[in-house]
Chains A and B, each alone.
Chain A
Amino acid sequence: QVQLQESGPGLVRPSQTLSLSCTVSGGSISTGDYYWTWIRQRPGKGLEWIGNVRLDGGTSYSPSLNSRLLISIDASKSLFSLNLRSVTAADTAIYYCARMNTISSNWFDPWGPGALVSVSS
């Protein structure tokens, strides 16, 4: 079955750009009616939807992160990526990638194991 795996630096300096990739295996990123999604959990907080990307490159972003966010997809490499600019300590979180179903309703399945990213100097 489809599996997702996040990858990227675990430490980012303040004001720099946080970059993560999510590799999709066990199935094609190009099949089905899915959006590819980033979700995070900051310390002591609940899960927070960051944004989605479609196969055609179309995106939806969280209003609170929209000005700093870029999510892209590379179907030839079976991966999608997150870039979050001008990070601060408040962006320290576990970042998850997930597949979002778009037929009838929207749920997330499966999820990657998560990548802990700390923002610190």
Chain B
Amino acid sequence: QSMLTQPPSVSGAPGQRVTISCTGSSSNIGAGYDVHWYQRLPGAAPKLLIYLNNERPSGVPARFSGSKSGSSASLTITWLQAEDEADYFCQTYDRGLRGSWVFGGGTKLTVL
């Protein structure tokens, strides 16, 4: 069981907006650690999508945005496009058990 909880799946039609949640605890997100998001397209390696909660690497469209509040974070995709269909993972640091880096279980986004 992952230390960060994500919904297994979300879906939306082209042009719509979807939000993927990432719920942690007082030992990770709630302790103030930054959250990062990754996109894994079918058959591809994970790619950094959002870092430091809401920063986008060069080349990532502005349709992707992140936020963090309390022990949770979220990834929002606006103007959904067919090529956004992928798995999305959140990641942070957890200070329990001598410290380790932790991921969410992943969310499969389906574009209808």
Contacts and interface: CB of A to CB of B under 8 A. Distances in A.
In the complex, which range does the number of interface residues on chain B fall in?
A: 20 to 34
Contact of A46 (B89, B93, B100): B89
A114 B38 contact: no
Interface string B87-109: 00101010001111111111000
Secondary structure type dominating chain A contacts: strand
Contact of B103 (A49, A100, A106, A112): A49
Interface residues of A, number: 25
A33 interface: no
A103 B105 CA distance: 25
Nearest to A112: B45
A63 B100 contact: yes
A34 interface: no
Interface string B38-77: 1000001111100110000100000000000000000000
Interface string A30-74: 000000010100000111110000000000101100000000000
A114 B38 CA distance: 15
A48 B103 contact: yes
Contacts of A39: 103
User: Most chain-B CB neighbours within 10 Å: which of A47, A63, A100, A109?
Assistant: A47
B44 A46 contact: no
B85 interface: no
Contact of B52 (A60, A105, A113): A105
24 contacts: A37-B101, A46-B6, A46-B104, A46-B106, A47-B46, A47-B89, A47-B91, A47-B103, A49-B103, A62-B100, A63-B97, A104-B52, A105-B34, A105-B52, A106-B93, A106-B101, A107-B36, A107-B48, A107-B52, A108-B48, A109-B51, A110-B45, A111-B46, A113-B44
Interface of B: 2, 6, 33-34, 36, 38, 44-48, 51-52, 57, 89, 91, 93, 97-106
Interface of A: 37, 39, 45-49, 60, 62-63, 96, 98, 100-101, 104-114
